[in-house]
Amino acid sequence: MPRRPLKLATTLLPLVLVPVAAWAAWLGWDQHRDVHPDGSVTGPYEAWQVIGLVLTLVAPVYWAASRHRIPGAVLGTTAGLTAAAFYDWSDDSSGLFVIGVGMVMVGSLVGTYALSALAAAVTRRGRRDDPAPTGA
C-alpha cells in the first residue's frame, strides 16, 4: 500500500486544524458588537485580533511551503479558515454571512499562496547560495 496518502494526510491535517484552532483562539470568543453614540455598529473583531490570527498562521504556512508542500499550505489553511468562518458566522439570519465567508476564502487563498511562493523562493535561494559540501 502506498505511503503517499498517509504522508499527504499527516501534512494536510495540521494545516487544516491549526487555522481552526487559531480562529477559535483569536476570534471565536468575541461575539460582541460595539454600538457607538452616533448609532453606528462595529465589530465584533478588533484589528489586533485579526492581525494576531494572520501572524499565527504565518509559521505553519512558511513551514509547509519551505518543504515544498505549497498545495497543502494553501489549500489546508484556506479550508481551515473557511470552515471556521462558516461555523462562526452561520447563525446570521440574513444569509449575508456567505459573502463574508467567500471573502475569507478568497483572501486566505491569495494570502497563503503569496506567502508560500515567497517562502519557497527564499528557501530555494538559500539552498542555492549554500557552499558545496566538502569531502574532508
Burial class (CB in 10 A: 0-12, 13-18, 19+), 41: exposed
Helix (H) or strand (E) holding 55: helix 47-66
Closest CA to 52 of 84, 14, 21: 21
The predicted pLDDT at position 136 comes to 46
The predicted pLDDT at position 79 comes to 96
Would the CA dihedral through 46, 49, 55, 58 be positive or negative? negative
- What are the structural domain ranges in the chain? 4-28+44-128
Q: Which of 25-34, 47-56, 110-119 has the lowest mean pLDDT?
A: 25-34
Question: Who wins on pLDDT, 129 or 108?
Answer: 108
Question: Who wins on pLDDT, 42 or 24?
Answer: 24
Q: Give the amino acid at 108.
A: S
Would you say 72 and 112 are in contact if contact means Cβ atoms under 8 Å apart?
no
Quote the CA–CA distance of 33 and 43 in Å, as a whole number: 5
